[in-house]
């Protein structure tokens, strides 16, 4: 079995540890796995491409050429558009943060609000606005970009990221922000293992089933009363917090999943 891991050069540098583990586990499983960067084109003989970047158009082009892309392009398209994510969750009846497309100040919900670019990730391009002046500054700064606004919801800077492998829960972590309303682990927040309740498992499986995803992260704000609200879907999802809290190789689990998926196809 042959495959590629596709990254941009910049993302590959940040994710070197995961790439190394993928290559190590692949060698143990007799999978020929090679790293593909930037504008390089895939080898016609590969059986799959682990698509680790945010570029649904490229993923779709490779799918049209006959490659098995993991995740498929439609997952990449929805996960990297916060408005599409909100629309999907609403359609599925999943608890989600109310999200509004913003074209001007007239579109903003009551303050305080959180304004985001639709395609930002990793906690970047997310802004808490307490006043109209702050909101106007963000709209001006990102003029020409697609923006959404959400009501600010108090969560004590705490959220849950659920890692899904197909329709199964690979693991979950609770993330708590440090000196910020953002909880991202890569921004300095703390992280701990989290166990889902039965109703939470139902919600995440509903999302994964609808997306027909392979490997994604699903982020929920964790509210003080124990409820949660879908915030974002991550594709590609980083595995640092999962490695930090669980005692298995994420790369090994992912490749075992891919191998079984292709053998059953």
How many Cβ atoms sit within 10 Å of the Cβ of residue 190?
14
Query: Given a cut of 70, is residue 3 above it in pLDDT?
Result: yes
Range with the lowest mean pLDDT among 16-25, 223-232, 246-255?
A: 223-232
Instruction: Indicate whether 231 and 169 sit together in one domain.
Output: yes
pLDDT of 120-154, one tens digit each? 887 778 999 999 999 999 999 999 999 999 999 98
Instruction: Indicate whether 65 and 129 sit together in one domain.
Output: no
Range with the lowest mean pLDDT among 51-55, 117-121, 128-132, 238-242?
A: 117-121
Instruction: Indicate whether 88 and 186 sit together in one domain.
Output: yes
Helix extents (H) in the chain: 9-14, 16-28, 56-64, 73-79, 82-92, 132-141, 198-211, 240-245, 250-264
Instruction: Indicate whether 89 and 176 sit together in one domain.
Output: yes
**173 is in which domain, residue-wise?**
78-94+155-247
Q: Quick check: is 252 in a domain?
A: no
Mean pLDDT of 179-206: 80
Judge if pTM exceeds 0.85. yes
Could you tell me the CATH number of the domain that includes residue 116? 3.30.1490.20
Mean pLDDT of 248-260: 98
Strands 228-234 and 48-51: unpaired
Could you tell me the CATH number of the domain that includes residue 27? 3.40.50
Provide the mean pLDDT of the chain. 93
DSSP string, 197-228: -HHHHHHHHHHHHHHT-SEEEEEEEE-TTS-E
Instruction: Indicate whether 160 and 227 sit together in one domain.
Output: yes
Distance, CA of 84 to CA of 92 (rounded, Å): 12
């Amino acid at each position: 079995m042959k495959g590629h891991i596709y990254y941009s050069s910049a993302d590959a540098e940040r994710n070197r540890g995961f790439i190394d583990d993928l290559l190590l586990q692949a060698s143990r499983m007799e999978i020929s796995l090679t790293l593909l960067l930037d504008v390089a084109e895939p080898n016609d003989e590969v059986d799959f491409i682990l698509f680790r970047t945010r570029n649904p158009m490229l993923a779709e082009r490779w799918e049209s050429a006959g490659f098995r892309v993991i995740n498929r392009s439609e997952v990449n398209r929805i996960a990297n558009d916060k408005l599409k994510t909100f629309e999907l969750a609403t359609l599925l009846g999943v608890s989600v943060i109310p999200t509004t497309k913003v074209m001007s100040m007239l579109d903003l919900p009551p303050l305080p609000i959180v304004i985001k670019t639709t395609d930002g990730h990793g906690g970047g391009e997310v802004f808490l606005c307490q006043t109209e002046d702050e909101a106007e500054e963000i709209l001006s700064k990102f003029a020409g970009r697609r923006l959404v606004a959400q009501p600010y919801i108090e969560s004590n800077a705490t959220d849950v990221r659920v890692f899904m492998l197909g329709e199964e829960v690979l693991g979950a972590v609770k993330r708590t922000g440090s000196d910020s309303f953002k909880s991202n682990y890569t921004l300095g927040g703390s992280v701990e293992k989290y166990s889902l309740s039965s109703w939470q498992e139902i919600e995440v499986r509903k999302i994964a089933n609808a997306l027909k995803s392979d490997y994604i992260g699903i982020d929920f704000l964790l509210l003080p009363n124990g409820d949660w609200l879908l915030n974002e879907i991550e594709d590609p999802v980083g595995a640092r917090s999962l490695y930090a809290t669980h005692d298995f190789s994420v790369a090994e689990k992912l490749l075992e999943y891919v191998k079984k998926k292709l053998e059953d196809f």
